[in-house]
């Protein structure tokens, strides 16, 4: 009888131990992570129809021999393949928004892979890389511009308002010989139209030419709709040029890589077997005196690194390594700076990978995710006496009526 009791107790202890380990690992993978079902992705309710021009639909399989890297540079005539091995990006000057880009300098990308369209989500797969198709909506772009114009009109004239609209991979790295075979609007033309709708009081930071000049690098994920940390770095370069400060070279940062990232496209394509897992590279801020406190949607306050160890997250949550994911409100402080410099970044998830680069330049960074934050942005800027306001969105936001409505709500 005693032996049975001992066996039962031993078994119970082992079972509890297993449950504790499983619970710990789950918490470890999902800690300080907010990329759940409440996150707004950027496909409209009705995805663009697709003119496949004889290409396959989602019921067909892509060319199984295609092995395109980001940008689908699988053909012999393609530009050099992206590389994770070496960071050679320099702090090269960024052309001004008014400068006419020299498109002849852009490297070509071609692919022999078939096109697979997932019409219910607006995602297209070419080889091992997915793209979200983009459709310009002028009425929505008008509402976006009006919200930005209201902000610049409401704040003091000495407040600088920077407007960054990030192109998505469909506008930058999609193979040139496939563009006419998918139903996606020109992001270059769309960005120019949006800029024309702005008042001119804000500083429109043009990103299209900058990203195109680096389009053969690993600047967008294969399996996710976000840009990579390297892509966000080039946006940081462009911002520094617009602000008149010197960006740090990419080679100055300590780089880490966490393998096996499967992002939103993997889910939105029903786990398309042709998609190749991403390497999740990230760069640690240079300053050692950084701290970040963030407030969740339920009002809970927590602390986290500005850039966390991505290996601590599950394969679908690694993007949460940047500023603890999507939270309504965060404050980053740099104890090494004593110049009272500050900015507010008003963003959706594309801004997450961008913010860490700013941490070496500002004593205080306020981060507002307008999708979840409730407040008056104009009053917040005045109360905190903030000189720099940075709006950063991906271009699909400018056609999404819900997201534009959320931004408009905090700019009454």
Confidence at residue 350, expressed as pLDDT on a 0 to 100 scale: 98
Give ∠ CA 79-83-88 in degrees, rounded to 5. Answer: 95
Q: Decide the pairing of beta strands 342-347 and 388-394.
A: parallel
d(CA 5, CA 258): 46
pLDDT in tens, 128-183: 999 999 999 999 999 999 999 999 999 999 999 999 999 999 999 999 999 999 98
Q: Are strands 278-284 and 388-394 parallel, antiparallel or unpaired?
A: unpaired
Give CA–CA dist 262/314, Å, rounded: 9
The pLDDT tens digits of the residues spanning 197-237 come to 999 999 999 999 999 999 999 999 999 999 999 999 999 99
Residue 19 has a CB neighbour count (10 Å cut-off) of 10
**For the residues 396-401, what does the mean pLDDT come to?**
96
Query: Hey, is 30 helix, strand or coil?
Result: helix
Q: CA–CA separation, 395 vs 397, rounded Å?
A: 5
15-22 contact pairs (CB < 8 A, 24+): none
Q: What percent of the chain has pLDDT over 70?
A: 75
- What are 3-23's pLDDT values in tens digits? 556 556 655 555 555 444 434
Determine the pLDDT at residue 70.
39
Q: Give yes or no for residue 46 having a pLDDT over 60.
A: no
Q: What angle do CA 165, 292, 152 make, to 5 degrees?
A: 35
What pLDDT does 100 receive? 56
CB-CB contact of 344 with 330 (8 Å): no
Mean of the per-residue pLDDT values of the chain: 83
Kindly report each contact of residues 247-253 with a partner whose C-beta sits within 8 Å and lies 24 or more positions away, as own/partner: 247/91, 247/357, 248/91, 248/286, 248/357, 248/360, 249/89, 249/90, 249/91, 250/87, 250/88, 250/89, 250/90, 250/283, 251/87, 251/88, 251/89, 252/286, 253/87, 253/283, 253/284, 253/285, 253/286
- Per-residue pLDDT at 121: 93
- CA dihedral (311, 317, 320, 325) in degrees, to 10, reads -160
pTM across the whole model: 0.80
């Amino acid at each position: 009888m005693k032996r049975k009791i001992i066996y039962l107790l031993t078994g119970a202890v082992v079972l509890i131990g297993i449950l504790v380990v499983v619970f710990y690992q789950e918490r470890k993978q999902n800690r300080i992570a907010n990329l759940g079902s409440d996150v707004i992705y950027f496909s409209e309710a009705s995805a663009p129809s697709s003119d496949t021009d004889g290409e396959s639909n989602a019921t067909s399989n892509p060319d199984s021999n295609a092995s395109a890297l980001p940008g689908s540079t699988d053909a012999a005539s393609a530009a050099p393949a992206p590389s994770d091995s070496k960071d050679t990006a320099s702090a090269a000057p960024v052309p001004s928004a008014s400068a006419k880009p020299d498109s002849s300098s852009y490297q070509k990308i071609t692919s022999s892979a078939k096109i697979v369209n997932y019409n219910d989500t607006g995602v297209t797969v070419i080889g091992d890389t997915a793209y979200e198709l983009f459709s310009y909506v002028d009425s929505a772009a008008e509402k976006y511009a009006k919200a930005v114009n209201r902000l610049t009109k409401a704040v003091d004239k000495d407040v600088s308002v920077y407007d960054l609209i990030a192109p998505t991979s469909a506008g930058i790295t999609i193979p040139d010989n496939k563009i006419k075979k998918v139903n996606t609007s020109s992001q270059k033309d769309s960005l120019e139209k949006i800029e024309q709708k702005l008042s001119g009081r804000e500083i429109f930071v043009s990103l299209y030419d900058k990203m195109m000049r680096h389009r053969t690098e690993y600047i967008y994920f294969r399996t996710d709709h976000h840009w990579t940390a390297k892509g966000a770095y080039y946006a940081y370069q462009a911002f520094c040029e617009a602000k008149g400060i010197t960006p740090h070279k990419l080679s100055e940062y300590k780089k880490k890589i966490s393998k096996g990232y499967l992002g939103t496209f993997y889910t939105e394509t029903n786990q398309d077997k042709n998609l190749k897992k991403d390497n999740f590279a990230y760069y640690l801020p240079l300053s050692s005196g950084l701290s970040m406190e963030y407030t969740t949607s339920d009002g809970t306050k927590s602390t986290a690194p500005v850039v966390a160890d991505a290996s601590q997250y599950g394969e679908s949550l690694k993007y949460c390594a940047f500023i603890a994911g999507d939270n309504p409100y965060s404050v980053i402080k740099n104890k090494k700076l004593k110049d009272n410099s500050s900015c507010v970044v008003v963003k959706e998830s594309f801004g997450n990978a961008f913010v860490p680069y700013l941490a070496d330049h500002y004593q205080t960074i306020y981060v507002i995710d307008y999708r979840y934050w409730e407040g008056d942005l104009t009053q917040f800027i005045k109360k905190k006496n903030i000189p720099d306001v940075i709006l950063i969105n991906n271009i699909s936001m400018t056609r999404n009526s819900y997201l534009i409505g959320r931004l408009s709500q905090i700019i009454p």
